[in-house]
């Protein structure tokens, strides 16, 4: 069942994700829509932006939890930890919405840092995959946005909105690439199985 070109872990991952690759594509497209909607909103209060960030962070946490079942053991733990961090950030944003711009920027910065580090790690571990470098670039951009958000240069509400939109945009890009990576891996596995 497992060909010479696939490790047992890759075969297990491909089999688990075989039927749900399209789900990652749909989720990625939804994240792109969220990004556009966020940029269209006319938000100028920290309260409104904090609630918006809370919704986006909870969505990202749910997205990570959805990624757990088809993943291998190590990645299940990583998705679980990242999902929990997103949920915690979302809850903090809901229960402390009147916080300062600096506090919200710091939370957004930490979320970018964790997600960017995760994406860079995934990209470097999958260098043999097609377009692995796209995930690497997205991760690096997220890490740079983390430092920009934590530095919070300018103190303007519009920057908070842009950072929330950027979080949704980068999330959408990584989900779409994951969908096509899973689809390609599924096709390769099917061709190896039919050759055996």
For residue 72, the tally of other CB atoms under 10 A from its CB is 14
- Whole-number pLDDT of residue 72: 75
Comparing CA positions, the residue from 57, 153, 139 lying closest to residue 102 is 153
Distance of CA 192 to the CA centre of its chain: 30
Question: 41: phi > 0 → left, psi -120 to 50 → alpha, else beta; which?
Answer: beta
| pLDDT number for residue 84 | 94
Which pLDDT score, from 0 to 100, does residue 76 have? 86
- 9: tokens are 């872990």
pLDDT for res 128: 84
- Taking the C-alpha atoms of residue 166 and residue 171, their distance in angstroms, rounded to an integer, is 8
pLDDT along the chain (196 residues), means of 10: 50 65 89 89 75 88 86 83 90 75 79 91 86 91 90 72 88 88 78 74
pLDDT of residue 153: 62
Whole-angstrom Cα distance, residue 72 to residue 81? 14
């Amino acid at each position: 069942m497992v060909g010479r070109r696939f490790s047992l872990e890759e075969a297990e991952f491909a089999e688990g994700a075989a039927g749900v690759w399209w789900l990652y594509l749909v989720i990625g497209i939804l994240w792109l829509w969220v990004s556009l909607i966020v940029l269209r909103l006319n938000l100028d209060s920290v309260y409104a932006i904090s609630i918006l960030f809370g919704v986006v962070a909870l969505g990202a946490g749910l997205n990570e939890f959805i990624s757990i079942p088809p993943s291998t053991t190590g990645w299940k733990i990583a998705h679980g930890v990242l999902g929990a961090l997103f949920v915690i950030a979302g809850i903090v944003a809901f229960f402390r919405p009147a916080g300062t711009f600096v506090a919200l920027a710091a939370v957004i910065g930490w979320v970018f840092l964790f997600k960017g580090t995760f994406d860079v790690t995934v990209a470097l571990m999958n260098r043999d995959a097609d377009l692995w470098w796209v995930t690497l670039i997205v991760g690096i951009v997220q890490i740079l946005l983390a430092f920009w958000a934590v530095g919070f240069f300018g103190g303007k509400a519009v920057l908070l909105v842009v950072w929330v939109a950027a979080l949704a945009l980068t999330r959408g890009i990584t989900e779409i690439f994951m969908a096509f990576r899973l689809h390609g891996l599924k096709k390769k596995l099917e061709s190896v199985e039919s050759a055996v």
